[in-house]
Amino acid sequence: MNKRLLSGFLALTMAVGLLAGCGNSGGGSGSGSGKNASWKVTCPWAPSGVAAMVSQKAAAKSTQYSDNITLVAEAIAGDAATVNTWVMDTEANDPELVFVGEGLLSITSIIDPSKLQFSEDDFVFVENLYSSIFVLSAEAGLNIKSIADLEAYVAQGQEISVAVNGAVGSEAFLAASLFGKMGAGDKLKLVAYQSAAEAAQAVAKGETQFAVSHQSQIQETYQQGSVTVVCAFDEKAIENGPFAGVEGVGEKGYPYFRNRCFIMARAGTDEETVAQLKELYDNILADEEVVTWLQDTMLLEVDTMSQEDVDAHVENVKSIVNEYKDLVAG
């Protein structure tokens, strides 16, 4: 009888142990701790865009640098509407990330705040995915190849047309700040296109005299000789890629900012979890293959940041928006 009782007790103990083990093995819900937790990363812009492509690359690399976090990239075009939905559907410690940039935090928040059903307080910053240095290109026949050439052209008092992605996007404000600072705001016509790629092609087709775009989107027409690249919207000259040596507008005292892509978790997410996510992204962004791909193929910069860096970037863009919003939004 005692042997039967002992055997039954041991069997029960083993069963409880197995159940407890099963309960701990998944680890993929809630805070994302434990083995094989999938974190969905929502890009609120086009699946064919720069941010979505980089997100896919990072997701593919995630399992090489973490045993317990797998990034799953998803692109849902919609900009503010997508982020509104993400904020509504998530809470602290959900295994969900979203991209937010200066377009929402610094431009939409001033130009059309009614579109935003969230504030910066709804997020906790994880890392900056990349930085893109925008460039100004010109129709090749104008023979404008430097800021000095551009200043001389503007001084002639001619009408100026610039292709940009969207009516009130980052590109529009960079164009307005440059030509506005040159004293040509009254001559400036911003021509909005539905995508960054279309805007970059417009100048090559002769639809506009200039365009503001990502480097990767103007590269082909530049190499074909259809456009010249005049300047970069950065502090100094571009250091890498086919546009290395193109001077930065900051060197001449003109306003500038980079296009950045902030990776955000839901506010209130455990600090340890956020730290693990940041470490994962930092390792991915230090990967030699990723760095080479970003610089040589995507023409982007690895640009890891702190919360203080983010705050400074957001405030810089806000100051430019406030100064030149009348030129852009009327």
CA distance 220 to 216: 8
* pLDDT band with cut points at 50, 70 and 90 for residue 25: very low
Say yes or no: 164 and 304 in one domain.
Answer: no
Q: Which of 203, 222, 257 is the last residue of a domain?
A: 257
Say yes or no: 52 and 127 in one domain.
Answer: yes
Say yes or no: 266 and 126 in one domain.
Answer: yes
* pLDDT tens, residue by residue, 276-330: 999 999 999 999 999 999 999 999 999 999 999 999 999 999 999 999 999 999 8
Say yes or no: 296 and 204 in one domain.
Answer: no
Q: Is residue 217 part of a domain?
A: yes
The predicted pLDDT at position 21 comes to 39
Say yes or no: 105 and 204 in one domain.
Answer: no
Angle, helices 271-286 vs 50-65, to 10°: value is 100
| More confident site: 91 or 50 | 91
Residue 19 has pLDDT above 60, yes or no: no
Q: Is residue 32 part of a domain?
A: no
CA distance 327 to 188: 8
Q: Is residue 26 part of a domain?
A: no
Q: Is 17 exposed, middle or buried (0-12, 13-18, 19+ CB in 10 A)?
A: exposed
Q: Which of 257, 280, 299 is the last residue of a domain?
A: 257
Residue 6 has pLDDT above 80, yes or no: no
The predicted pLDDT at position 49 comes to 86
Strands (E), the chain: 37-43, 69-75, 96-100, 123-132, 135-139, 160-165, 188-193, 210-213, 227-232, 259-266
CA distance 293 to 278: 20
Q: Tell me how far apart the terminal alpha carbons of the chain are, to the nearest angstrom.
A: 92
* pLDDT tens, residue by residue, 30-43: 344 445 799 999 99
Say yes or no: 153 and 224 in one domain.
Answer: yes
Q: Is residue 179 part of a domain?
A: yes
Contacts of 15 (CB under 8 A, 6+ apart): none
What is the DSSP track for 286-329? H-HHHHHIIIIIS--B-----HHHHHHHHHHHHHHHHHHHHHHH
Say yes or no: 253 and 302 in one domain.
Answer: no
Instruction: Name the token pair of 295.
Output: 């610089």
Say yes or no: 126 and 46 in one domain.
Answer: yes
* Count of C-beta atoms within a 10 Å radius of residue 47: 15
DSSP helix, strand, coil percent of the chain (3-state; round to 5): 50, 20, 30
Q: Is residue 12 part of a domain?
A: no
What is the total residue count of the chain?
330
Report the b/e string of 166-179 with b at 16+ CB within 10 A. bebbbbbbbbbbbb
Q: Is residue 13 part of a domain?
A: no
CA distance 202 to 191: 9
Number of domains the chain contains: 2
Q: Is 22 exposed, middle or buried (0-12, 13-18, 19+ CB in 10 A)?
A: exposed
CA distance 93 to 150: 50
Q: Is residue 192 part of a domain?
A: yes
Say yes or no: 176 and 226 in one domain.
Answer: yes
Report the mean per-residue pLDDT for the chain: 90
The predicted pLDDT at position 282 comes to 98
* Domain CATH number, residue 167: 3.40.190.10
* pLDDT tens, residue by residue, 137-170: 999 999 999 999 999 999 999 999 999 999 999 9
* pLDDT tens, residue by residue, 236-258: 999 989 999 999 999 999 999 99
Say yes or no: 166 and 213 in one domain.
Answer: yes
Q: Which of 257, 287, 305 is the last residue of a domain?
A: 257
Q: Is residue 176 part of a domain?
A: yes
Contact assessment for residue 135 and residue 246, using Cβ atoms and an 8 Å cutoff: yes
Say yes or no: 263 and 115 in one domain.
Answer: yes
Say yes or no: 117 and 158 in one domain.
Answer: no
The predicted pLDDT at position 238 comes to 97
Residue 123 has pLDDT above 60, yes or no: yes
Residue 7 has pLDDT above 90, yes or no: no
The predicted pLDDT at position 149 comes to 98
| More confident site: 6 or 44 | 44
Write down the pTM of the prediction. Answer: 0.87
Q: What residues make up the domain containing 235?
A: 135-257
* Domain CATH number, residue 265: 3.40.190.150
Instruction: Name the token pair of 236.
Output: 């100094």
